[in-house]
Chains A and B, each alone.
Chain A
Amino acid sequence: MIKKEHNKIAFINARIVDPDSGLDGLGELIVHNKLIKDVGRNLLNGSIPEDHLIINCKNNILCPGLIDMCSHLREPGEEYKENIESASKAALSGGITSMICMPDTNPIIDQISVIEFIARRARETNGVKIFPSASVTKGLQGKELTEIGLLQEAGAILFTEGDQALSNTKIMKQALEYAKTFDALIVQHPQDKDLSANGAMNSGALASKLGLPGISKVAEIIQVEKDLRLIENTGGKIHFINITTKEAILAINKAKKNGLNVSCSTSPHYFNSTEDSVDEWKTFAKVTPPLRKEEDRKYIFDALINRNIDLITSHHSPQDQDSKRIPFEQAEFGIIGLETLLPLSMELHFKGKMQIIDIIDKLSNKPAKLLNLKSGMLKKNYPADILIFDPNYSYKLNIDKIKSKSKNTLYENYNMRGKVLATIVDGRLMYKSSKFKIKSI
């Protein structure tokens, strides 16, 4: 472990990957007092400074720690599914150094006291950096706006209705307009409420065969297109999470070209899995929006490579057994994603030849820039939020080793490529794999 007295650390023999500067090559990185002091090649001129802790990265990748813009921590309210401490451990072992938690807790994050509660719990946990989001409307009711200005002041980093869409056009318009005053970001889970009501999986032949109510792609497309009109009209700023359809991406890109302030993201299950995972009512494959067909998966996969999707979030949604081991229609939505975010995203590299630096960009630099976080890049005087991982190490996902309280993953025994070796938050080593040996000299 890095002890307290080690306020000077030198990471040597690292393959430095920094999407912001475009640096991808062997080098060193020096940390002084929580901050990055320097990064580059031959910083040490072959001499090893005596007062530094030397960490030999053995040619593994050293990059900015991941920033997860959408995860459900379930605290307060559903601590039996996950809590801030367990989520923090899971995130750190997944290479995540900052995460944004969703407001659909109990109580809902729609008031300052809940923001402060989460901030306190995060301080106590003292692990991953946690930034709370707040709901756009009071009680997630979709009727009255929350105190966007005050909540932002208290620390709310973005505003969202979580896994439900803000569907009332009038309220959405007001929210976008009002949020503009504070340059606040509205994050929308685009899925038309009327069209997706009672839906359990992607509509189509499989849903028909299984006798399950479907959610069609048009539910997503129509919500995106509607909101884009509002952005055009209000000049506000929006981010769409969990994009799964070609048409939504095309609409978003057209809006971007027209200069609208819009961005989008997706989650690893949407480019790694299809509705076939539902098989015979496998509730672990019940997610919102639903897993789609192979052609859609392929499109999302390619859209990430072609830079038509801005970033990747884990959409970590822990659910306990009682929420999943019930009939499919009754089961809750969601799969866990903190610990699989990096390896599942690395599939873009292994199967799609995407450059690793571009993948890291979507997992760290892009979300940092969107949220104005001082993180996500290896830059002098930036906090030392760092991830070291071995991109070629492959292993089977062992469900017993998952640190999340809930084990609802689709990827049990799945062959994962890319292993987190160490996660450093503010210059402190918060996670270290047993595969990674640190010898102080």
Chain B
Amino acid sequence: MHVLNKWLIDNSITRLAFAKKINISTATLSRYLSGDRIPKQSIMKKILEETKNEVTPSNFYTSQNKNIFNNNFFKKHLLGIEGLTKKEISSLLDRADSIVKQNKNNVIKQSYKGKTLVNLFFEDSTRTKTSFELAAKRLGMDVINMQIETSAIRKGESLLDTAMTLNAMRPDILVIRHSLSGAPHLLANKIRCSVINAGDGKHEHPTQALLDALAIKNRKGKIKNLKVAICGDIAHSRVARSNIKLLITMGAKVNIIAPSTLLPNGNNLLGAKAYTNMQQGLKDADIVMILRLQLERMQGSYIPSAKEYFRFYGLDRNKLNFAKKDALVMHPGPINRGVEIDSELADDINRTLILEQVELGVAIRMSVIEHLLNNNNLNNKK
């Protein structure tokens, strides 16, 4: 809390009264308190007088005053949605939301100069990697991209070896994507900096779930009590897992819809209810989340063909009618048009959030990075 704010509370003076006394508007005072603005010398003098030297100019020049936010997320790493509380998720979402608003006015300041983010991608990715890179650059960070061909990683020893090498480079944030579940957790145990999981095997993809949640919140105004239907290759999807965990933590109901071969073993997953029928699964849904069908599973033993899949599980306007009238469609991308979603529907900006999802991705990642850097600062000070 700002020293001035504390002083006001301690002395039971309202912001309005104080603003009047020093002859500024309450809005200006709020900006001083939030750190978005620093008082002019003449006003500084007044503040000094009014507070009897208890609030000094130096109180307005703290190192973190440019992007102060209410941090309720105190973890060192973001490895998954698993284990996050409602409060922590809200903290990440709220900050991202305010970043979106500030972004529109271009007021984000490059306050993290000299910090380094390393993108360590063991699996191909365009949007996630770019999104992290953009987020870090908007925060003024240095970004190093390490694209490692999966084929070159013969054995996992190289993962720990890479960790050791990276340790020596002293990055502040490490973003990792790996084709094997739990790889970021293994790395997090061995590395000094904060680790962000950008997708591990079939396990989790937390920033995707966070940006999906933000997109839902922006359009529906809430997450609680919404019904979300997730349709597609649930068994092999890390996006589904992170989304189910997040949505259920935030009080939504989740249905999962897929042919039995693409449902996880035991069918119901992490509290979501499983359906093999689109009509039943989409009933009363506020949000329909379509997952990408991996090419390698489009033929063979999981599903006989893409054609058959689209006939029974591909989302088109007819099937969308099973959901609520104002139901919105989401897709983490990239889209297989005509396989999991009808091409024309995918382009309907009134019904889909697909482009919004991409846009919010940057804000979410900025928020996550900021939280983690913030926590690192706190820990270093201790």
Contacts from A to B (Cβ < 8 Å): 203-205, 207-214, 216, 280-281, 322, 325-331
Contact = CB atoms under 8 A, between A and B. Distances in A.
Contacts of B180: 327-330
A203 B203 contact: no
Contacts of B186: 281, 325-327
A326 B265 contact: no
A326 B155 contact: yes
Contact of A327 (B181, B202, B241, B269): B181
A328 B203 CA distance: 12
Contact of A330 (B156, B264, B266): B156
B174 interface: no
B181 A205 contact: no
A211 B181 CA distance: 6
Nearest to B234: A208
A327 B203 contact: no
A329 B201 contact: yes
Given A212-B202, A280-B182, A281-B181, A326 B266 contact: no
B182 A281 contact: yes
B65 to A, nearest CB: 38
B241 to A, nearest CB: 6
Contacts of B266: 203-205, 208
Nearest to A200: B181
A331 B157 CA distance: 10
Given A280-B185, A322-B155, A327-B180, 6 more contacts: A208-B264, A209-B270, A211-B241, A212-B203, A214-B265, A327-B181
A296 to B, nearest CB: 15
A1 to B, nearest CB: 43
B238 interface: yes
B159 A326 contact: yes
A208 B265 contact: yes
28 contacts: A204-B265, A204-B266, A205-B265, A209-B269, A209-B270, A210-B182, A211-B181, A211-B201, A211-B202, A211-B203, A211-B241, A212-B181, A212-B202, A212-B203, A213-B202, A216-B265, A281-B182, A281-B186, A325-B186, A326-B155, A326-B157, A326-B159, A326-B186, A327-B156, A327-B178, A327-B180, A327-B183, A329-B201
Contacts of B178: 327
A92 B204 CA distance: 45
A280 B155 CA distance: 20
Most-contacted residue by chain B among A205, A208, A329 (CB, 10 A): A208
Interface residues of B, number: 26
A85 B347 CA distance: 69
Given A208-B264, A208-B265, A208-B269, A330 B185 contact: no
A329 B203 CA distance: 12
Interface of B: 82, 155-157, 159-160, 178, 180-183, 185-186, 200-204, 235, 238, 241, 264-266, 269-270
B158 to A, nearest CB: 9
B301 to A, nearest CB: 10
Contacts of B269: 205, 208-209
B232 to A, nearest CB: 15
Contacts of A210: 181-182, 203
A139 to B, nearest CB: 22
Contacts of B238: 211
Contacts of A212: 181-182, 201-203
A209 B182 contact: no
B181 to A, nearest CB: 4
B157 A328 contact: no
A212 B202 CA distance: 7
A403 B257 CA distance: 52
Nearest to B236: A211
Given A204-B265, A208-B265, A210-B203, A325 B182 contact: no
B185 A203 contact: no
B160 A325 contact: yes
Nearest to B204: A211
A111 to B, nearest CB: 29
A209 B200 CA distance: 12
Contacts of A328: 180-182
B255 to A, nearest CB: 16
Contacts of A280: 182, 185
Nearest to A325: B160
A235 to B, nearest CB: 36
Contacts of B160: 325-326
